[in-house]
Amino acid sequence: MGSQQNVLNQLVSFILGASAAAVLLFFLTSAGSASRSTGISSWANGTLEFADGPLQDASSPATEAAVHADEKGTTEPDDELERLLRAVADEDRTVIMTSVNEAWAAQDSLLDLFLEGIRNGERTAHFADHLLVVALDGGALRRCRAVHPHCYLLPAAAGRNLSDEKVFMSKDYIDLVWSKVRLQQRILELGYNFLFTDVDILWFRNPLERMSVAAHMVTSSDFFFGEPYSPFNLPNTGFLYAKSSARTVGAFEAWRAARASFPGKHEQQVLNEIKHDLVAKRGLRIQFLDTEHNAGFCNNTRDFNTLYTMHANCCVGLGAKLHDLGNLLKEWQAYRQMDEAERRRGPVRWKVPGICIH
């Protein structure tokens, strides 16, 4: 009965928070989930099964060109991308990624807060060396280069003004989140695994510890119902891991192709539509992370003892995000000063009231 009540409480919190957040979000803020899955047959490239092995054929059509065009005709400079991937990848060829526009990359804004959090978490500091920051405009690129050595300008952002606030679900929002998926697919094609994290996510502990080596893809959850491999969980692609293989590249191709069948929907909504078929027809093993460990403002554990990451979703406006994440980081630092006995006595909750977090 207690767990059922908890799920009900989470559902109410999520619906209320998501309703407020739908008014206005910054670019690339992860949104709520979409409706139940529909068929894959109308847009998938047949029912071809993909092997699990890593991509090794450098002469394949997907990898032979140094520069290639995406669906809108823009080009991605693979030489620069490959150079950066080689520089940041760890020994397992895994790259951490985040993305920022000029407002999010500005001094004392979300990029600085994100870097501070990752450098001061438990067993997370080394991830800063493996972080690729994707800039969505020239201002973000300049600011990124002032604070971090590995910055990449998303080619699809060229000529766009993405430095200000963006209305949620605007054309720029839709186009750019899909360009992010194209970049992620390209990274997989080049033989690298990635862990994408929205920049408004604080890292407290090593999130890889919560991820199964058996999964092809791992996503955080807007809603988690108890079974990590069940597609009935609701994904939040603001925190997304994918392992490089022909199977995952095929899944990303299908994901991007599905956009035409769901016009006007962003990438997370489309993934939610097709997740059942990716699992059933393509054999994709998707792990959904428990919100007890990988939480968000509209669905959180309220306990530092179990928390690995915290996402400032269901929170409108840069000022509100900075206020709440900044306070949360200060409380985390105080928590780290506690001795083990004090931590074990019970849940350790944050005390400072937030604008969005509850």
CA dist list (Å): 118 to 14, 96, 167, 168, 345: 26, 11, 28, 27, 26
DSSP 143: H
| Separation CA 137–CA 121 (nearest Å) | 29
**pLDDT of res. 150:** 98
For 108-142, the pLDDT digits (tens) are: 999 999 999 999 999 999 999 999 999 998 999 99
Closest CA to 147 of 172, 174, 188, 119: 119
The pair of structure tokens assigned to 119 is 């450098």
| Separation CA 131–CA 19 (nearest Å) | 32
| Separation CA 84–CA 131 (nearest Å) | 10
**pLDDT of res. 346:** 80
How far does CA 28 lie from the centroid of its chain?
9
**pLDDT of res. 164:** 56
Contact 150, 117 (CB under 8 A): no
Q: At residue 65, does pLDDT exceed 60?
A: no
**pLDDT of res. 274:** 98
Average pLDDT of the chain is: 81
Q: At residue 299, does pLDDT exceed 60?
A: yes
**pLDDT of res. 175:** 82
Q: Which of 34-38, 282-286, 341-345 has the lowest mean pLDDT?
A: 34-38
| Separation CA 200–CA 52 (nearest Å) | 32
Task: With H, G, I as helix, E, B as strand and everything else as coil, classify residue 310.
Answer: strand
| Separation CA 306–CA 346 (nearest Å) | 11
Helix, strand, coil fractions of the chain, as percent rounded to 5: 40, 15, 45
For 237-274, the pLDDT digits (tens) are: 999 999 999 999 999 999 999 999 999 899 999 999 99
E runs forming strands in the chain: 67-69, 75-77, 94-100, 131-135, 151-153, 193-197, 201-203, 217-223, 234-242, 286-288, 294-296, 309-311
Half-sphere exposure of 336 (CA within 13 A, CB side): 14
| Residue 301: band (very low, low, confident or very high) from pLDDT cuts 50, 70, 90 | confident
Helix-then-strand count for the chain, H and E: 10, 12
How far does CA 88 lie from the centroid of its chain?
18
